[in-house]
Amino acid sequence: MSQPAPGDDCRHPLLRVEDLRVDFHTRSGTVRALDGIGFELQRGEIMALVGESGSGKSVTAYAIMGILDAAARITSGRIQFGGRDLLTVGEKAMRSIRGRELAIIFQNPRTALNPIRPVGRQIADILLQHGGVTAAQAPRRAVDMLAKVRIPDPERRAAAYPFELSGGMCQRVMIAMALACEPALLIADEPSTGLDITTQAVIMDLVVELVASHNMATLLITHDLALAAEYCSRIAVMHAGHLVELAPTPLLFTMPRHPYTAKLIAAMPGEAGRLDMLAAIPGALPDLRRPDLPACRYAERCERAAADCREAPLLRLTSADGRQIACRHPL
Amino acid sequence: MTIAAFAGIRRFDGTLRHIAYVLAENPVTGFAFAMFSVFVLLAVFGPSLAPYDPLASDTAQALTGPSAAHWFGTDQLGRDIFSRVVVATRLDLGIAVIAVALAFTAGTLLGLAAGYCGGWADRIIGRAVDTIMAFPLFVLAMGIVAALGNSVANIVYATAIINLPIYARLARAEANVRRSAGFIEAARLCGNGETRIVLTQLLPNILPLMMVQVSLTLGYAILNAAGLSFIGLGVRPPTAEWGIMVAEGASNIISGEWWVALFPGLVLMAAVFCFNLMGDGLRDIVDPLRRT
Amino acid sequence: MPAPAVTIAGPTGETLLAATGLRKLYPLAHAAAPWRRRGQRPLLHAVDGVSFAIGRGETVGLVGESGCGKSTLARLVARLIDPTDGSIRFDGAEIGAVPAPRFGRSKQRAAIQMVFQDATDSLNPQFTAFRAIADPLIRLRNLSGSALRARVEEAARLTGLPLELLSRFPHQLSGGQKARVGIARAIAVEPRLLVLDEPTSALDVSVQIVILKLLQELKQRLDLSYLFVSHDLGVVRLLCDRVLVMYLGRIVESGPAAQVFAAPAHPYTQALLSAIPRPGARRSRIALEGEPRSPIDPDPTICRLYGRCARATDLCRSVAPPLRRVAAGHHAACHHAVDATETTQAAPRPLAVGS
């Protein structure tokens, strides 16, 4: 059970990421995956991290959870959560925080579950480890969780293996596992990619309903801007390891300030009337191993780029209402 | 096949460059290929390089140790061991290469048929291969040679048969995995018949893995031939063959004439070692996925 | 029971491909009784009585969720698998009767080509891009030497693939480049009909747009017709002239794309469209309860959507609805299809209980 957390107070956000920098050391060079990411998250808020593949959104999520690859090095930054800096607490403390106060649901539900263990048992495992229930109570509570995520016939389904369940149901099981101990923060890494569109809608509705009833903070990682727009109150746009814009959703769509955000919005098929109204985003993500990356990593794709965009250090502006923009020549 | 036609000279250049890259990148591979070239040279030019006639016996010189005249010494019949070792290279390498070639060809084709077609082909070939593997392989080889008679050809057949199942199983597993791949469907759209698909589309994909197996099997084949000769079921004396030489020299170790068995044994070991090391290099050369 | 043939008019009014009563049934080995002979085994109705037509120069979209049979239908049309029942007439010839292995040698093989979803999977990892594109030209057009090279380069140019990439292997190419190779291979033999099985779903959003625009351009330049299979309704809306909505092996709605998207008549289509995420206000969901019915030996007298649909009545349980006209060129298989002239999106519907 989560204790009353300092995140209840608006002045003390539940999660604060400051100047996070992460490098990956690979055979072909050092990938500077994250370069100064910072944002805050309040209790009960749903925020999206949106970007193309390779933008660093999953790396951010994994850094918060402490499950980065062995090749990753967090070179600077702080992740303040519940009064502690997650980057300094050490693995033992992280293991107790993970699952109990911090939870994550992954993209491919069937592969994220243990294929040779019935789903009810997997939920019970988490409850036993973190939830403070006895071995006798755990199976019953697991079935309760399954019912909570609206799996029909939960008693029977608790004995099923992941391969016997559909993709949507496996995702519900993952949600049940994530929420079993009522964490304060839920990270959803592309939870509906790979699911059918009707299932996707139902799953997202379920997640949103559950987090609202528990007043959880949620970080939604997705490449689908429309999905983020539908469910999140704030959207952070990431590009090549930079957080280029962060704004409340309606403002982001009516008044995007970063050129990349505007391009992303123009690329959404949902609102376009004809195919020629869709504009592709020119160029491609820069190779993050390059030693000569421009200061603004979008500069090489940007029509508005000027000399200072490449040379001068990236200008990050944060306004009082929490809006962020990382651009010298915003729209 | 018109591979050369539309790939053009460019591909060949690229291939040579790729081979050079593979050999340079890993010194072990380069070393193994160098050793292999030495063995091939010995096999081809052996008889002309040997200083003495390998069959000429000179009992006056029997069992003399390594010296300037006889680098590896002489055996109990006074024959120069160095010459015999060099000349034996052709025989041993020949047996191994031909046996492996046979096993590879037959095993791969059977495995491909079993893995790609499934159904009855898979069942029948599977049972046949299982039957072979049910026997301890060396004992099976012994049995075949004993039944068919002591000759080099029979050693080759026996070695080929006992090494066939490995290729069949490997080919079958790989074919099975790939048979529902998109490029196989695409190949049908291009008008390829099923046989053509198996040979031109599927086979190149499994070759890299088979290459590693080829090099390992070459080592086994040599050991097999040597082993059979060691127990008297293979090449007959006075033919020079590493296994026989080790056998003949084994009894001399106790009496202190260590060189009779040691040198053939060392060369045998070097050959097997070299083949094993070549495996990765061969795969890297054949597999375009290794190209950057 | 096969749905009645749906006649269409493409932009030139000429029918290129007409499928009637297509069925594809797979016998399943029963887990409990594996000795059951083929005739007695339960059957999976992957495609169950589909009739439609594709006109010359038309792009027909095929949408549906996983398990609806659209991939199977795509492969039936591309003649990679044989139909259990029904006919496929292409350019006047009955091609459904030719067994798939023999179809590779028929004249129509080059006329119907396919672009696959996962370009990585559909390109032989051991072949260069050149070889991949050249393969159909060698087998179907008997080209070689410089004529072959010229045609391959032309196909590459048409798809915007830089010529120096032709000597590369798939693992040396980016996602977008691999997609172009797949398309170049398909158009190299000058087909009339291209079946596209989710050609962009494995690509990044930005690359998707580029490839979609390329497909649009190629269609006009080369006078192609497309059967565009996709689960992404937004893309289908932009690219397709007509759309067919599939559910559990049957077409439940068909009609001009603009009309089906603006005023869907079938409850399943409505649920699909309401599930598309949109920025702005949260729309009220039209949710379908429960799980889809089993496609194994389905009861032919019950509507396939029965049990999940808010409009269900006793009629739905006793007679499976055929495709009925709801407006000009617009058909839906529902007893209670909403008149397509009403816009159903206007009135918000409450969330169905138990979603």
DSSP C83-132: -SEEEEEETTEE-TTS-HHHHTTSGGGGGEEEE-S-HHHHS-TTS-HHHH
Average pLDDT, chain B: 84
| pLDDT at residue C8 greater than cutoff 80 | no
- Grade residue C39 by pLDDT with cuts at 50, 70 and 90: low
**Of residues C290 and C197, more confidently modeled:** C197
Radius of gyration of chain C (CA): 21
Nearest Cα to Cα of residue C238 among A261, A267, A256? A267
Which of C126, C164, C193 has the most B C-beta neighbours within 10 Å, making it the best mutation to test the interface with B? C126
Chain segment B223-259, per-residue pLDDT in tens: 888 888 888 887 877 888 888 888 888 888 888 888 8
pTM of the model: 0.82
Q: What is the pLDDT of residue C353?
A: 31
Q: In which band, very low, low, confident or very high, does the pLDDT at C37 lie, cut at 50, 70 and 90? A: low
Has residue B83 got a pLDDT over 50?
A: yes
Q: Tell me if C241 is assigned to some domain.
A: yes
Per residue in B36-46, pLDDT (tens digit) is: 999 999 888 88
Q: Find, in chain C, the residue whose alpha carbon is nearest to that of B2.
A: C144
Smallest Cβ–Cβ distance between C272 and the set A53, A197, A202 belongs to: A197
> Residue C265: which CATH number?
3.40.50.300
Of C278, C290, C355, nearest to A270 by CB-CB distance is C278
Q: Specify if C344 maps to a domain.
A: no
Binary contact (C209, A267; C-beta < 8 A)? yes
Residue C235, chain A, CB below 8 Å: the answer is: yes
Which residue is closest to A274 within chain C, CA to CA? C238
As a whole number, the mean pLDDT across chain A is 87
How many of the other CB atoms lie within 10 Å of CB of C143?
20
Asked if the Cβ–Cβ distance from C275 to A200 is below 8 Å, we say yes
What mean pLDDT is predicted for residues A118-127?
91
CA–CA separation, C78 and C100 (whole Å): 9
Percentage of the residues of chain C whose pLDDT score is greater than 90: 41
Instruction: With cut-offs at 50, 70 and 90, classify the pLDDT of residue A4.
Output: very low
Whether residue C148 is contained in a domain is answered as yes
Amino acid at B235: V
What residues of C are in contact with residue A227 (Cβ under 8 Å)? 277
> Around Cβ A30, how many Cβ atoms within 10 Å?
14
Residue C33 located in a structural domain: yes
Confidence (pLDDT) at C33: 62
Task: Report CA B15 to chain centroid distance, whole Å.
Answer: 24
Contact residues, chain A, for C290 at CB < 8 Å: 152
Q: What is the pLDDT of residue B14?
A: 64
What share of chain C in percent tops pLDDT 70? Answer: 87
pLDDT level of residue C23 (50, 70, 90 thresholds): very high
Mean pLDDT lowest for which of A40-44, A120-124, A170-174, B61-65?
A: B61-65
Which among C180, C238, C353 is the top mutation candidate for probing chain A, defined by the most A β-carbons within 10 Å of its own β-carbon? C238
Among candidates C237, C275, C279 on the partner chain, residue whose Cβ is nearest the Cβ of A253? C279
Is residue B2 situated within a structural domain?
no
Q: Chain C 155-214, CB below 8 Å of chain A: which residues?
A: 174, 204-207, 209-210, 212-213
Is the pLDDT at B61 greater than 60? The verdict is: yes
What letter would DSSP give residue B151? -
Q: What percent of chain A has pLDDT over 70?
A: 96
pLDDT at residue B8 in the model: 38
B188-207 mean pLDDT = 90
Q: What is the pLDDT of residue C30?
A: 63
Q: Is residue B104 part of a domain?
A: yes
Amino acid identity for residue B167 in this structure? Y
Output C178-181 pairs: Cβ under 8 A, ≥24 positions apart.
C178/C119, C178/C120, C178/C123, C179/C119, C179/C203, C179/C207, C179/C211, C180/C156, C180/C211, C180/C214, C181/C119, C181/C123, C181/C129, C181/C132, C181/C133
Using CB atoms, which residue from A198, A225, A230 is nearest to C65?
Answer: A198
Residue pair A40/A89 in contact by the 8 Å Cβ criterion: no
Give me the mean pLDDT over the C299-321 stretch.
85
- Classify residue B211: in a domain, yes or no: yes
Which one-letter DSSP state was computed for residue C54?
A: E
Q: How many cross-chain Cβ pairs, A to C, lie less than 8 Å apart?
A: 102
Q: Is C191 among the domain residues?
A: yes
B3 within a domain of the structure (yes/no): no
Put simply, the answer to whether B191 touches C139 (Cβ < 8 Å) is yes
Check: CB of residue C27 under 8 Å from CB of residue C38. Answer: yes
Helix/strand/coil for A102: strand
- Cα–Cα dist A234/A42, whole Å: 11
C234 touches chain A (CB under 8 A): yes
Write the ipTM: 0.81
CB contact under 8 A, A52 and C206: yes
pLDDT tens for each residue of C67-116: 888 999 999 999 999 999 999 999 888 888 888 888 888 888 999 999 99
pLDDT at B2 over 50: no
- Is C2 inside any structural domain? no
Of the listed ranges A116-125, C143-152, C328-337, the one predicted with least confidence = C328-337
- Average pLDDT value for residue range A167-195: 88
Provide mean pLDDT across the span B260-277: 88
Quick one: fold of A6-101+183-325?
Answer: Rossmann fold (3.40.50)
Cis peptide before C267 (omega within 30 of 0): no
The pLDDT of B57-84, averaged and rounded, is 82
CATH number of the domain bearing residue B16: 1.10.3720.10
Q: Cα(A73)–Cα(A80) distance, rounded to whole angstroms? A: 18
Nearest residue, CB atoms, C126 vs list B185, B189, B288: B288
d(CA B175, CA B173): 6
C256: containing domain: 15-332
Overall average pLDDT of the B162-170 stretch: 93
Give me the mean pLDDT over the B186-202 stretch.
Answer: 90
Nearest chain C residue (CA) to B8: C145
- Could you tell me which of C153, C209, C205 has the C-alpha nearest to residue C184? C153
**How would residue B4 be classed by pLDDT, with cut points 50, 70 and 90?**
very low
Mean pLDDT of C23-35: 75
Using alpha carbons, select from C127, C51, C115, C63 the residue that is nearest to residue C89.
C51
CA distance C91 to A324: 59
The whole-number pLDDT of residue C352 equals: 32
| Domain carrying residue B30 | 8-290
